[in-house]
Amino acid sequence: MEIKKCTLEDVPQLALFNKQLIEDEKSNNPMSIEELEERMTGFLQTEYDAYYFMHEEDVIGYALVKHTCTPLYLRQFLIAREYRQKHYGTEAFRLLLNYLGVDRLDIEVLPWNEAGMRFWESCGFKEISRYMRFEK
């Protein structure tokens, strides 16, 4: 597996992956593909970098990392559905850590995303806070 830094040319594919991530984690984010493309463009033009995970010639997933905070913040991470349950997620995460040269990283996991929570715990993450929201 290899890692490749994305450019603005990758925004359409990144938006499709982001839509899949939103669906898979059952997020309440209602954004369309077009809105996700616009948001991803904004991310890449400011404080985020995106990375593809490559297996042979195929893009099998991506990560979106905020570089302007310490520790770095992993905002999005996805292995495409057809590549799951093959240990690519763990391999991609370790590859990302090595590529970024870090030994600390922050993430957020939606509370109902049990599969995501299990995955991140298996990678060594520990819960340090609970982010909550009040809406009327």
The residue written with tokens 């970024």 in the block is 100
**Residue 130: pLDDT over 90:** no
DSSP characters over 45-113: HTTEEEEEEEETTEEEEEEEEE-SSSSEEEEEEEE-GGGTTTTHHHHHHHHHHHHHT-S-EE----TT-
**Residue 134: pLDDT over 90:** no
Kindly indicate the confidence band of residue 56, based on its pLDDT and cuts at 50, 70 and 90: very high
Please state whether the predicted TM-score (pTM) of the whole model is above 0.85.
yes
Supply the pLDDT for residue 132. 83
**Residue 44: pLDDT over 90:** yes
Paired residues of 53 in beta bridges = 3, 61
**Residue 131: pLDDT over 90:** no
Supply the pLDDT for residue 4. 97
Which of these, 47, 62, 77, lies nearest to 10 by C-alpha position? 62
pLDDT digits (tens, 9 = 90+) for 73-93: 999 999 999 999 999 999 999
- How many whole angstroms separate alpha carbon 117 and alpha carbon 86? 18
Mean pLDDT of 21-50: 96
- DSSP assignment letter at 134: -
